[in-house]
Amino acid sequence: MKLIAFDADDTLWVNEPTYVDVKKKLCELLSRYVDRDTLTEQFYDAQIKNLHVFGYGAKSFILSMIETAIELTNGAITGAEIQEIINIGRALIDFPIDLLDGVRDVLEVLAKEFDLMVLTKGDLVDQESKIARSGLAPYFKYVEIVSEKNEQTYLHILQKYQVQPADFLMIGNSLKSDILPVINIGGRAIHIPYEVTWAHEHIADEQLAGKSFTTLTGMSELLGLFSNLNEVV
C-alpha cells in the first residue's frame, strides 16, 4: 500500500446532520408558505439541478435554498426573510468539527507508516476550512479537493501521484463516491457507513453485484485490519 486516502465529510467528521438541521430550519422559516414535504421535494430538485453549475458545498446549498424559497412563494418571500435564509446557511461555513470515534487514533498510527491523503469532493474554501478546523491536517501528506469523485477522478489522481491502483486504498462512507469507482479501476476500498446518507449518494443494490470490499462499523475497527491488510481488502 503506497497511498491511503480518506474521504472527509461523515468519514472523518460529522457533516450531514448539520445540513439536515439547516434544512429543518428552512422548513420552519417557510412553514407559513409551504408544508415540509413539498419543500423537501422541491429543494432536492433544486439541489440536483444546481449541482452541475454550482457544485457541492455550502454556497451551492445556500443558493438552492434561496431559489427554492422564491419559487415556492411565487416570489412573495421578502428580502428580510432571504437574509434569514443566508444567516441560517452560514452555520454550514463555520460549524464546530466533531471528529468521529477513533479517527484521531487511527490517523496517529497510520501516518507513521503510510502516505495519507484527504480526498474530498465539495467546495474549495469550505473543505479547506473544515480540514483546518478539524486539527487533522498534520496527519495528511496530501489534500485533494475535487468537484466529483468518479473513476476518472481517481485515475487522474493516481496518475498525478504515480501510484498504481493496486497500491491505493480509499476509505469512506459513500458507496457511490468512495467505494464503487475505486474498485472499478482496480483499487482497494473500505466502507465505513455513516448513520445519515444524503439521497444523492444512494445507489441501487445491483450496482454492488460482484464487487468486493470490506465494510466496517466504525473507524476504530480499521487498525485491527492493518495487521493483515492484504487478506481483508
| Residues near a second copy (CB under 8 A) | 53-55, 59-60, 62-63, 66-67, 69-71, 73, 75-83, 86, 90, 93-94, 123-126, 128-129, 142, 145-147, 160
Least distance in angstroms from the C-beta of 79 to a second copy: 4
Cα separation, 213 vs 220, whole angstroms: 17
Half-sphere CA count of 165, side-chain side, radius 13 A: 16
144 vs 190, beta carbon nearer a second copy? 144
Cα separation, 142 vs 144, whole angstroms: 7
Positive/negative CA dihedral, 203, 124, 10, 68: negative
26 vs 146, beta carbon nearer a second copy? 146
Least distance in angstroms from the C-beta of 233 to a second copy: 27
89 vs 181, beta carbon nearer a second copy? 89
Cα separation, 152 vs 157, whole angstroms: 9
Cα separation, 118 vs 131, whole angstroms: 9
Cα separation, 130 vs 14, whole angstroms: 11
Least distance in angstroms from the C-beta of 88 to a second copy: 13
Long-range contacts of 36-40 (CB under 8 A, 24+ apart): 38/72, 39/68, 39/72
Least distance in angstroms from the C-beta of 75 to a second copy: 3
Cell numbers 453549475 correspond to what residue? 53
How many of the other CB atoms lie within 10 Å of CB of 94? 11
Q: Which of 142, 124, 75, 134 lies closest to 103, judged by CA?
A: 134
70 vs 229, beta carbon nearer a second copy? 70
The CA–CA distances, whole Å, from 202 to 6, 44, 58, 173, 177 equal 19, 14, 20, 11, 10
132 vs 196, beta carbon nearer a second copy? 132
136 vs 189, beta carbon nearer a second copy? 136
Least distance in angstroms from the C-beta of 161 to a second copy: 9
Least distance in angstroms from the C-beta of 108 to a second copy: 23
127 vs 174, beta carbon nearer a second copy? 127
Least distance in angstroms from the C-beta of 51 to a second copy: 9
